[in-house]
Structure 1
């Protein structure tokens, strides 16, 4: 049975962590080269495989002692906050000129889907969102709900990148999105620390 609260928490955490991630930019760039719908399909397939792997590993980790899982989750959330904060601090606002390429109308559907799948599949291994998904499965012991929330967030972020990416980056600087993601990781770390000592 799907727990709507776990789905919502997972969706929110993955969404804000993934929005400023390289995956957003990669999807945006791919959508300038291929038809956006084909990019989204390829990216979605890559996210599905990556999320299944993260959920399976997280489910295996849930058999560890509860305190060990909470400590691991705390460390992962803190590491995520540090990574996102450092990326936000070092990032300069992009002009958007690198996204000015035009789509190639001659590209076949299968080629565009395949290229998008391969780029994102390679980029997501060990990515913060994959590690966060693994951690959330181990923490909540609800692989189905975490899978639904994580995949939903990844598909939403990639959909935003395909449809509104250029406009979004003109309104909200990428470093701001990094800081929001870092704050969410810190909030999750604080909640996990409280559970560990309570």
Structure 2
């Protein structure tokens, strides 16, 4: 249980760095009491990760452990690419974070709950719970996310600006790739040649497609940015 807790804490803390949930936490905390925001985040995270662990635990019971390690390793590679791509608040999320009414706790909790559904931290929690102690994953992942959002709140309060997102995203992505390589090595140990070739091919294809997609997004952003600046001037 302790090993699962520590692993989940580390993975989810890394996954949350630069995530839109951190940006939302920072935005809320700059306007409302930080402890109310943090309590709301804790409640939402506990609920979302309970659902994630439930699905992951019962999914993992029906899949061989070696296969699950391979799938988890490939998932970690995807999370690494996702992290490099970066995250941001869209217009609707930013507007919602700025116009919360009287019931701050409920508003923040609901917005975080909805924001985490289908997010990489939820998917990472599902992945971890498939072949680790479910209670350890639940506790560790919840604490990891709350700690990362608390860091965003503290930095936002002290500096009044976002974390250096690109640098943190690259470091977080490197850790994800490391986790992925370790899980793939574990799952492929003793596997047949066909499984090894198929897995390595899938990893190369995922990394290739993901890299091409990220490059395309970066080029689109570079083209869009001068246009936005020209409109403002």
Structures share fold, TM-score greater than 0.5: yes
Which residue number corresponds to residue 164 of structure 2?
Answer: 173
Which residue number corresponds to residue 8 of structure 2?
Answer: 10
Residue 68 (structure 1) shift: 2.7
Which residue number corresponds to residue 217 of structure 2?
Answer: none
Residue 138 (structure 1) aligned with residue 127 (structure 2)? no
RMSD: 2.5
Task: Find 1:125's aligned residue among 117, 122, 135.
Answer: 117
Q: Distance in 1 between matches of 2:46 and 2:9?
A: 14
8 Å contact from structure 1 (residues 59, 143) kept in 2: yes
**How many corresponding residue pairs?**
181
Which residue number corresponds to residue 32 of structure 2?
Answer: 34
Q: Cα gap change, 1:103/1:167 in structure 2, threshold over 3 Å: closer, same or farther?
A: farther
Larger RCO: Structure 1 or Structure 2 (Cα < 8 Å, ≥ 6 residues apart)? 1
Which residue number corresponds to residue 149 of structure 2?
Answer: 158
Greater displacement, 130-139 / 3-12? 3-12
Which residue number corresponds to residue 20 of structure 2?
Answer: 22
What's the CA shift string for 1:101-124, capped at 9, x where partnerless? 9999xx64xx01011011111100
Which residue number corresponds to residue 53 of structure 2?
Answer: 55
Residue 67 (structure 1) shift: 2.8
Structure 1: gaps of 5 or more residues: 92-97
Extract structure 1 runs of 4+ deviating beyond 6 A: 101-104
Normalising to structure 2: TM-score of the pair?
0.70
Q: Distance in 1 between matches of 2:35 and 2:188?
A: 47
Residue 164 (structure 1) shift: 2.5
8 Å contact from structure 2 (residues 72, 127) kept in 1: yes
